[in-house]
Homo-oligomer: A and B are copies of this chain.
């Protein structure tokens, strides 16, 4: 397999794939932060040092923690399709500028989506980036299928 360095579209894909994956990974520590500050844990062993009474209070679900967890799941549901389709798309030899346009818009939508989700901004601040990101992935799907189709 040739060197990643030789193909500029693949390098651009690697850059943006790394960015959105790191953004997704950040949701783990953010969930932990909300669990600690809101005092809402999911497992007995996470509050092992507390008194029995405190444990009862700490082992609960919290709406804000659940919000962050749903945001994380939404990332999985959308970023996984992007990285899978994006890699195949990069292998179809698109123009670098066209590819960059796809990758940049997608990364932008996911960052806006996360901010809107966590800061509880009005629905469309989360809904529009969600739909736009999906359209970017579908545009790459179209290119992959029209280039590669073997059924």
Interface residues of A (CB under 8 A from B): 1-8, 10-12, 14-15, 17-18, 21-22, 24-25, 27-28, 42-46, 48, 67, 70, 72-73, 76-78, 80-81, 83-85, 87-88, 91-93, 96, 100, 120-123, 126, 130, 134, 137-138, 141, 144-145, 147-151
Q: What B residues does A100 contact at CB under 8 A?
A: 150
Residue from the list B1, B67, B137, B149 in contact with A1, Cβ < 8 A: B1
Cβ–Cβ contact A4 & B43, under 8 A? no
Residue from the list B28, B83, B137, B148 in contact with A5, Cβ < 8 A: B148
Q: What B residues does A18 contact at CB under 8 A?
A: 85, 88, 141, 144-145
**What's the least CB distance linking A146 to chain B, in Å?**
10
Main secondary structure of the interface of A (DSSP, over half): helix
Q: Given A77-B72, A80-B80, A123-B45, decide whether A7 and B1 contact each other with a Cβ distance below 8 A.
A: yes
Q: Which residue of B lies closest to A28 (CB)?
A: B77
Q: A22-B141, A100-B150 are in contact. List 11 more A-B contacts (CB 8 A).
A: A4-B92, A5-B147, A14-B148, A17-B85, A21-B81, A21-B85, A22-B138, A25-B134, A25-B138, A27-B77, A45-B120
Q: What B residues does A80 contact at CB under 8 A?
A: 21, 76, 80
Q: What B residues does A88 contact at CB under 8 A?
A: 4, 14, 17-18
